[in-house]
Amino acid sequence: MDIDGVIAAVPTAFTCNGALDANKFAAHCQWSLENGADGLNILGTTGEANSQYPTLRKEVMKEAVNAVGPERLMVGTATPDFETTLELTRYADELGYPVALLLPPYYYKPLADSQLFGWFQQLDAALGDASIQIYLYNFPALTGIPYPVPVIEALVKELPDRIKGIKDSSGDLPYCREIVAKIPEFKVFPSSETCLGSARTDGFAGCISASVNVTAPLCEKVWHGSRTPDDTLLEDISFIRQSMASVPLIPAVKYLISLREGTPDWEFLRLPLEPLTIEQKHALEAAVHKLGYRT
């Protein structure tokens, strides 16, 4: 199944003790799809996946499917060890997720191209006839391991039915354009909605973004609207994104959702992340105004 367009990298709602707050999480997933998001990325960086143990990740995965169905979901299943990655990816397939989003095996580095290629070759073999597709997740600032374009080309050539796309969180749009040029059928998603004004011209499949959790209604107008998007709309999207990126992004997403929903409970995070300070919240005041939220 194809997933493209405006994808919200959704946060995970927690209780004060770090458990899943299923009701808040489900409600936000539903809100996102009803207010401009074409799909949801569950358990990515914004979802604090790598701060969660496997049982909790499975609980989150299942709750998302219960809330909105699997058709428009992709889910992060990567861990540093192969067996847990395989276990989570198989579970996603059983739940009906069409796409798993995978970081590289990010502890031992540097990795030779052959090691990176071999990891995914082995994963594909272990998945057998599972139908789930894999999108690569390129975030070298956190993993320390990029996905070189020649490795992507080799994976697509060797595993064309499995390796189908990439989310790029490096912010390197020339890298994204190079992938499009060399593998035209490959789905490329930059990690910021600020790319949407030229995304179709660039051949991108859309974006997968943390800030789409609040900007989705604006992003929908760009992606599904005129071929020449309104400059003012693009400026508002860019301003909100830049404001959120000026403070820790994941706590910023949760803070803005808490304002929209009228509950401070949305600000709960799992350590080592911490909520925004009062000063950081004040830095978002202009963005809050553009979104029509109240502080």
The pLDDT of residue 227: 66
pLDDT tens digit sequence for 246-255: 999 999 999 9
Distance CA 209, CA 8 (A): 5
What pLDDT sits at residue 70?
97
| Residue 253 contacts residue 275 (beta carbons within 8 Å) | no
pLDDT tens, residue by residue, 257-268: 999 999 999 999
Is it the case that residue 26 has pLDDT exceeding 90? Answer: yes
**Residue carrying the six token digits 């604006």:** 218
Confidence of residue 151 (pLDDT cuts 50, 70, 90): very high
pLDDT score of 230: 76
> What distances in angstroms separate CA 144 from CA 46, 119, 287, one per listed residue?
18, 16, 31
- Mean pLDDT confidence for 177-182: 97
Helical H segments across the chain, by residue range? 22-34, 54-68, 82-95, 113-127, 140-143, 149-158, 173-182, 199-202, 212-223, 231-245, 249-261, 278-282, 285-291
- Determine how β-strand 73-76 pairs with β-strand 163-168: unpaired
Q: For position 88, what pLDDT does the model report? A: 98
Q: State the amino acid at position 56 in one-letter form.
A: L
Task: Identify the pLDDT of residue 226.
Answer: 62
Residue 94 CA to residue 220 CA, distance in Å, equals: 30
pLDDT score for 231: 83
CATH architecture, domain 5-225 = Alpha-Beta Barrel (3.20)
Which pLDDT belongs to residue 2? 77
pLDDT band at 133 (very low <50, low <70, confident <90, very high): very high
Model confidence pLDDT, tens digit, residues 204-247: 999 999 999 999 999 999 998 866 667 889 999 999 999 999 99
What's CA 173's distance to the chain center, in Å? 17
Write the pLDDT tens digit of every residue in 61-117.
Answer: 999 999 999 999 999 999 999 999 999 999 999 999 999 999 999 999 999 999 999
**Per-residue pLDDT, 1:** 63
pLDDT value at 28 more than 90: yes
CA nearest neighbour of 150 among 117, 115, 110: 117
